[in-house]
């Protein structure tokens, strides 16, 4: 227990006015704990970690942690994170998004970040609902579920985030649950450590907005259901079609080691700068020497 207290003091902000916004039974606090344990386990300095968050309950995690934190716009966290990573590749950029955030309004940014394979650890806290705005249908709300905007049952098919990220080209794709905190620690740790775009889907229950409308008496029921549903990917692959129903595979799905965009850019830039002709034709790094500019503007001495 003293370890936990020590981590809390080390990584949560002292100057932030607590309490936090999470409801009783919310899984986001467990995901936050995993994030802190992962950073601590990797011995990263707090100055080199940037947490970029979107909008929603998950977005508020950024306020509490004592890293460099940016609370961005709805769905666009990955775009800010891309700018930060490209501008300062030495930073460890961790992006925290919700399911509505990453998959509805930010769906385009998600697939392109994965395609670029930009060096970001993306954590998608999937609670199958828009929690903060009052429990509306999200792109991961299961078919038939009752929400504030699907009072007669959701008609649309939910996204499978793992399949989506894999198809889009992410380096590392994993799924964990807040019920299995130790596994989640490991998955998040890998996502932060590895190069390229690494995505972890975190299944986290929302009793307040989802459970109460869908016959879960209390948060414990939801954690029980999560425990029952989650099976290791390896076991799930041997399941029959009938057995797979109502079950969710967890673990690592994609593990590639392709260099991130920032690394590929660095290599290209180094090659360009090594060519004396290209370098000479350019202004000084601070851009203050236009006299030597020849690249695009064909000059004549006056």
Partner 1 sequence: MPTPRSSRKKRKEVFALGAEAVAEGALLAGCSFYAGYPITPSSEIMETMASRLPRIRDGVFLQMEDEIASLGAVIGASLAGRKAMTATSGPGFSLMQEHIGYACMAETPLVVVNVMRGGPSTGLPTSPAQGDVQQARWGTHGDHSIIVLSASDTQECLHMTVTAFNMAEKYRTPVILLLDEVTAHTREKITLPLPGEFEVFNRVVPTMPPEWYKPFEETVRGVPPMPPIGSGYRFHVTGLTHDVNGFPTQRPDETVDLNHRLFRKIDQFFHDIQVVEEYQTRDAEVGVVAYGSVARSARYAVDQARARGIKAGLLKLGTLFPFPKAAALRLLSSCRAVIVPEMNMGQMSREVKRVNGGRSSVRTLNRVDGQIITPSEILKALTQV
Dihedral angle sign, alpha carbons of residues 88, 90, 91, 92: positive
For β-strands 49-53 and 68-71, DSSP reports them as parallel
Q: How far is the C-alpha of 56 from the C-alpha of 28, rounded, in Å?
A: 11
Angle, helices 77-87 vs 107-116, to 10°: value is 30
Of the candidates 189, 170, 179, the residue with the CA atom closest to the CA atom of residue 253: 170
Nearest distance from C-beta of residue 56 to partner 1, angstroms: 13
Q: Which is nearer to partner 1, 73 or 133 (CB)?
A: 73
Contact code string over 44-63 relative to partner 1, x by CB under 8 A? --xxx-x-x---------xx
Q: Does 9 engage in binding with partner 1 (CB under 8 A)? A: no
Q: What residues from 214 to 273 belong to the interface with partner 1 (CB under 8 A)? A: 265, 268-269, 272-273
- What DSSP line would sit under 161-208, residue for residue? HHHHHHHHT-SEEEEEETTSHHHHHHHHHHHHHSSS-EEEEEE---TT
Residue 48, classified by CB atoms within 10 Å of its CB into exposed (0-12), middle (13-18) or buried (19+), is middle
Q: Does 147 engage in binding with partner 1 (CB under 8 A)? A: no
Nearest distance from C-beta of residue 222 to partner 1, angstroms: 28
Q: How far is the C-alpha of 54 from the C-alpha of 132, rounded, in Å?
A: 12
Q: Does 167 engage in binding with partner 1 (CB under 8 A)? A: no
Judged by CB under 8 A, the residue of 11, 22, 80, 197 near partner 1 is: 80
Q: Does 174 engage in binding with partner 1 (CB under 8 A)? A: no
Nearest distance from C-beta of residue 249 to partner 1, angstroms: 29
Q: Does 86 engage in binding with partner 1 (CB under 8 A)? A: yes
Q: How far is the C-alpha of 219 from the C-alpha of 109, rounded, in Å?
A: 32
Query: How many Cα atoms are found within 13 Å in the side-chain-facing hemisphere of 264?
Result: 11
Q: Does 43 engage in binding with partner 1 (CB under 8 A)? A: no
Judged by CB under 8 A, the residue of 39, 84, 94, 161 near partner 1 is: 84
Nearest distance from C-beta of residue 135 to partner 1, angstroms: 21
Nearest distance from C-beta of residue 285 to partner 1, angstroms: 4
Q: Which is nearer to partner 1, 257 or 298 (CB)?
A: 298
For β-strands 230-232 and 248-255, DSSP reports them as parallel
Q: How far is the C-alpha of 237 from the C-alpha of 220, rounded, in Å?
A: 28
Q: How far is the C-alpha of 65 from the C-alpha of 112, rounded, in Å?
A: 27
Phi/psi at 122 (5° precision): -105, 120
Judged by CB under 8 A, the residue of 23, 29, 66, 233 near partner 1 is: 66
Judged by CB under 8 A, the residue of 1, 2, 17, 257 near partner 1 is: 17
Judged by CB under 8 A, the residue of 12, 42, 44, 70 near partner 1 is: 70
Q: Does 104 engage in binding with partner 1 (CB under 8 A)? A: no
Q: Does 283 engage in binding with partner 1 (CB under 8 A)? A: yes
Nearest distance from C-beta of residue 238 to partner 1, angstroms: 38
Judged by CB under 8 A, the residue of 37, 109, 146, 175 near partner 1 is: 109
Phi/psi at 204 (5° precision): -140, 125
Give the footprint of partner 1 on this chain (CB under 8 A): 15-17, 46-48, 50, 52, 62-63, 66-73, 76, 78-88, 90-91, 108-109, 112, 265, 268-269, 272-273, 278-279, 281-283, 285-291, 293, 295-302
């Amino acid at each position: 227990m003293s370890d936990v207290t020590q981590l809390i003091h080390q990584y949560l902000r002292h100057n932030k006015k607590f309490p936090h916004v999470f409801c009783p039974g919310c899984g986001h606090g467990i995901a936050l704990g995993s994030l802190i344990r992962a950073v601590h386990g990797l011995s990263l300095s707090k100055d080199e970690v940037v947490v970029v968050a979107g909008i929603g309950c998950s977005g508020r995690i950024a306020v509490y942690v004592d890293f460099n934190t940016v609370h961005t716009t709805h769905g666009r966290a990955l775009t800010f994170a891309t700018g930060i990573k490209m501008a300062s590749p030495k930073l460890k950029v961790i992006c925290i998004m919700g399911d509505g955030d990453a998959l509805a309004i930010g769906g385009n940014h998600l697939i392109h970040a994965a395609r670029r394979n930009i060096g970001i650890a993306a954590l998608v806290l999937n609670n199958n609902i828009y929690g903060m705005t009052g429990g509306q249908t999200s792109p991961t709300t299961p078919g038939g579920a009752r929400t504030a905007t699907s009072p007669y049952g959701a008609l649309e098919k939910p996204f499978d985030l793992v399949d989506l990220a894999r198809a889009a080209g992410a380096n590392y794709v994993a799924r964990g649950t807040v019920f299995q905190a130790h596994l989640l620690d490991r998955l998040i740790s890998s996502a932060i450590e590895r190069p390229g775009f690494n995505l972890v889907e975190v299944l986290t229950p929302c009793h307040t907005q989802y459970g109460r409308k869908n016959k879960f008496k209390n948060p414990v029921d939801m954690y029980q259901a999560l425990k029952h549903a989650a099976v290791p990917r390896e076991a799930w692959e041997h399941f029959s079609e009938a057995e797979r129903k109502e079950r969710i595979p967890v673990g690592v799905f994609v593990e590639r080691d392709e260099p991130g965009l920032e690394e590929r850019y660095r290599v290209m830039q180094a090659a360009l700068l090594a060519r004396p002709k290209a370098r000479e034709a350019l202004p000084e790094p601070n851009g203050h020497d236009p006299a030597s500019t020849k690249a695009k503007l064909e000059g004549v001495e006056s």
